A and B are shown apart, each in its own frame.
Chain A
Amino acid sequence: MALATYVAKRLALIPLILFGVLIIMFVITRMLPGDPAAVRAGGIPDPEILIAIRKEMGLDQPVYVQFVIYLKELASGNLGTAFMTGRPVAEELLFRLPATIELGLVSEFIALIIGFPLGIISAIKRDTIWDHLSRLFGVLGVSIPNYYLGLLGIYILFFQLRLLPGPMGRIAILIEPPSHITGLYLVDSVLTLDWDALWSSLAHIALPAMALSFFTMAPVIRITRSSMLEVVSTDYVRTAKAAGIPERQIIFQDILKNAMIPLLTVISFSVGNLIGGVVVIEQVFGWPGVGLFALSSFQANDHNPIQAFVLLSVAAFLIVNLVTDALYGLVDPRIRYG
């Protein structure tokens, strides 16, 4: 009950936070240099045409009027129109979101499935070659820019070795995507038993997900290692060892459990890194997600998609933080809410 109340209170705060972010973003996008009407007008400098375009885009109104109009539309779920594409922003995001979610989930999964064990090994085999290698792996992951890592991966694994497909999107160009259920190709392929689509989707997501995961893997390795080392040196662990309890049991039952709290924190922060990293990785791999759309919108100073993207990112971050905070109580029974 205390947890439910805690979650409800946090959920109630989210709209307020988003409203504050919206105001800030609305003002900032209109202060930034770059008139989206001029971009849309392109090489046509005729002032009359520019006026017509600005009117069509609603930019001829004062900023506060634009904001009120935007709020009214937002209340009915309308995020405005993307000026560069002419389509509703909500439609654009819904169309592209599954691609980004899928990429984010797979990359987070890879980061954890590799980072976690490496951190454990690093802690258990402290100051051995395995420890150093794990830490080096983590440092490289956070030091090498995503962009470069992505291109390097494409060059080696696709162009030279042909182990993975080229940056042509989510699925081979001549293979039909699976029937739409969730929009996540991996899930939809399994649900519809479309094995061609599954293998192709797996192959196409492997490289971008790996490139994206490196940046989040490094803190997972580090925090797992340091949290475990902290617990390893405690009296009760030494007592357990002295009592002859198998090491594996001590690791998974005692040490890991107590190391989970900081690890959960790192995982929730990694979502923030993912949001930033996904923009770059989608650009490098031509991944048709929200990040690529956001990038082109930023370059054109297309206000509505920029606002929507920031709101989406903030909402995602807030929800992940809320889930993490709720999980703290499940992982550590000493934590109480309310």
Chain B
Amino acid sequence: MRGDWDMDYGFGGSDLPPPMSDVVCPFCAMTCDDLAIARDGTGQLRVSANGCARARTLFALPALPAHCFIKGRAVPLDEALDAAAALLGDAASPAIGGLAADTEGVSTALALAERLGAVVDHAASDSLFHGLRAFQVTGAMTATFGEIRNRADLFVLFGTEFERHAPRLFDRIVRPPTALFRDGGAARGFLIGPGDGPTPDGFERLTADLAHAPAIAAALSQLLAGETPRGDRVGGMAIEDLARVAAALRKARFGVVGWIAASLDPAAGDVAVEAFNHLVVTANASTRCAGLPLGGKGNALGANYVCAWQYGVPLRSRLGAGPPEHDPLRYRLKSLLAGGEVDALVWLSALNGAELPDTRTPMVVLARPGQPLPRDPEVLIPVAVPGLDHSGSIHRGDGVAALPLRRLRTTAATLPSAATVLSALLGRLPAPPLATPLRETAHV
């Protein structure tokens, strides 16, 4: 059974991959596409090669037949959709959050938001907006995974828990088995952050408090530019250590300054990213260097991209109530929910990484089976997992590659995709009035 897995797959070649190799993993922003997946007689999936621990767990979750619920009472899909449409139709200040879905799921959620006049935000947007707010102020100088894999000869990485936030980063990108312009196995660099976990070969761990990341990066920029920072320690780091990092960046042919966005100071992550960017630009005066933001789940970057191309604005915007209105502070969904400023919430969680918010706000939840629920929402509609149950696309976290998702399993009770459910919901809302009557055939 090949299903839509191999639609048009036959073009050009004799040695195509068998159907269950080169599978794209949708469960974090690394978006590895080299997984091998085995499937047993019941349709149960298992990662048989190349996945991380998270992929092994999430691919193996059973595709449960699941019911829709209204306040904990099992109902058919139509009844759940009617209840959801009624709840949303009455809302004055609706919002759509989570947005952990494939391109089509996000796109349909945004269309629904536009119809409702709703605020849109992603579950993981705090980390996303560290980078985005810095980008809006200064821009960026970056490189993608493929360029770094082949070229980077020095890594300066800020953060902790690389295995959790960027699994397989070291195996695939930092110390790849093969590289074009460097010795892949001999990567060297520095890990800057709290804690003292294991340190990969060729790397040196420098303990620092990342609340001071902006000062540390600024001191490195000064040292690169030939200036001397004041004092003998910055952010818990000795100036001599910083001087070694700066010298390494200057000597590198292609250095990388990377950071785990989730490890940065929640209140000032954007300031840190601005400082990292300034460091990268400073290094490029004489050699090559690039920034590399890391981390993210639930297609956060992809959701932001779709919003940007369809509406011209990023997430944390209000759509449909006039022109798209973006405000990274005012339309942060967590703050709106905490302030009781939302009267109906749609939560989209077809992928991992979008835990339900702890709120009493009436909620329509579209969730993958197995999503933990802190309470019974007003309406719960289970949806299929993109890349396991249906095809689609997803963006990788470094911002250039979008990858294809394919259907890997079919079960007797196949759940609808998020896009299907959201379209049905849109269809139940009253059509918007046409602004002006059309007189296109005045001369007939």
Decide whether A and B are members of one complex: no
Binding site for B on A (CB under 8 A): none
Binding site for A on B (CB under 8 A): none
